Structure 1
Amino acid sequence: MSDQLQNGFGWFPYEPSKAPRLLSPIVLAYIGDAIYEVAVRQYLISLPNLRPNHLHRTATGLVSAKAQSTILAFLEPSLTDAEKDIARQGRNAKSGSVPKNADVLEYRHATAFECLIGHLYYTGQQERIRELIENSIQYMMNRS
C-alpha cells in the first residue's frame, strides 16, 4: 500500500490504478462525491432527532449539484492556488451528461468541488478535507 494512503485513509486496502495526478478530474470527482456524501451523512447522524425522512431530505439538500456549486463559491477564497487549479480542472472536465435537476453551470461547479475532495483524498490530505467539509456543512446549515 502506498505511503499516501497509509498516512491518509489506509483503512481501505485499495489504491487507485494510477498516481492521483494522473487520474482524470471525472474520476477524482467520482470518489470525491462519495467522500463528501459519507461526511454529510455522518454529520447528520451526529444530530438529535434522527428521523429517516428528515435525514434524507437534509442530506439531499447538502449534496445536490446546486448546494455543491454554492459551497465551491463559498470556499474559493480560502483555497490555495494548487486547490483552485484542481477545482478548475474539475470544472472544465467533460462529463458527458448533466442531470435533469441541475443546470450546466451548477453541475460543472459541483464537479469541481467533488474533484477537489477526490484529489485531497487520494493525496492523503484528510485534515484539509475535514476542514473544507466542516466549513461547507456549517455554511450550508446556517443558510437554511
Structure 2
Amino acid sequence: MDRFLAETDCDPKSYSPLTLAFIGDGVFELFVRERLVLQGNCPVKELHKHAVKQVQAAAQAMVVPKLEPILSEEEISVLKRGRNAHVGHVPKNASVADYHAATALESLFGYLYLKGDLKRLQELFREICEIQMQNIEKTDV
C-alpha cells in the first residue's frame, strides 16, 4: 500500500507544512492505534488512554531530536518546515516548543505518507517506539 487513494496523483512538496501535519497526525495516530490493538484485546477506554499518552505533543516532541540523526536531508527539511510553521494557537496542555516539535513530526509523517513511502514510515515508527521504551525504562529506574 502506498496510500489509501493511491490512484490520485499527489506531490507532497506542494503542500504547506500544516497541511502535511494535518494528514500526518492521522497517519501517526493510526500507527499508534494499530500497535495498541495488536498488543492484545482490551477495553476501548484503556486503548484510548494509552493512545493519548503516545500522540500528545510532549510525547511526540521528545522523540524528534533522537530521530534527527537517522533522517535524510529531505526529511530534515520537511521536519524544519513543520517546526517553523505558524500554528496560530497552542493547546493549553502543551508548551509552545513541544507543539512545534510535534507539528514537525506530524509534517514528516504526512509528507512520507503522501509520498507513498510506507516502508520509511514503518522504520521511523519502529524507531519512535524504541525511543519511547528507552524513555520509560529510564523513568522507571
User: TM exceeds 0.5?
Assistant: yes
| Deviation for aligned residue 1:49 | 4.8
Fraction of identical pairs, as percent: 37
Q: Corresponding residue for 1:4?
A: none
CA pair 98-142 structure 1, distance change in 2 beyond 3 A: same
Moved over 6 A (4+): none
Distance 2:7 2:90 in 1: 29
TM-score by length of 2: 0.88
Counterpart residue type for residue 119 of structure 1: Y
Q: Corresponding residue for 2:5?
A: 12
Q: Corresponding residue for 1:121?
A: 113
Cα-Cα RMSD: 1.7
Counterpart residue type for residue 46 of structure 1: L
Counterpart residue type for residue 5 of structure 2: F
Aligned residue pairs total 136
CA deviations 1:32-52 (Å, max 9, x no partner) are 000000110000000125132
Name structure 2 gaps, 5 residues minimum.
137-141
Q: Corresponding residue for 2:58?
A: 66
CA deviations 1:4-52 (Å, max 9, x no partner) are xxx611x336747x62111000000000000000110000000125132
Tell me the secondary structure at the aligned position of residue 123 of structure 2: helix
Q: Corresponding residue for 2:98?
A: 106
| Aligned partners of 1:62 and 1:137 also within 8 Å | no
Matches within 5 A, 1:44-83: 44-83=36-75
Name structure 1 gaps, 5 residues minimum.
1-6
Distance 1:93 1:82 in 2: 17
Tell me the secondary structure at the aligned position of residue 91 of structure 1: helix
Q: Aligned match of 2:35 in 37, 43, 47?
A: 43
Matched, 1:23 2:31: no
CA pair 120-34 structure 1, distance change in 2 beyond 3 A: same
Tell me the secondary structure at the aligned position of residue 122 of structure 2: helix
Tell me the secondary structure at the aligned position of residue 39 of structure 2: coil
Counterpart residue type for residue 2 of structure 2: G
Tell me the secondary structure at the aligned position of residue 30 of structure 1: helix
CA pair 62-14 structure 1, distance change in 2 beyond 3 A: farther
Distance 1:117 1:136 in 2: 12
| Deviation for aligned residue 1:74 | 1.7
| Deviation for aligned residue 1:68 | 0.7
TM-score by length of 1: 0.87
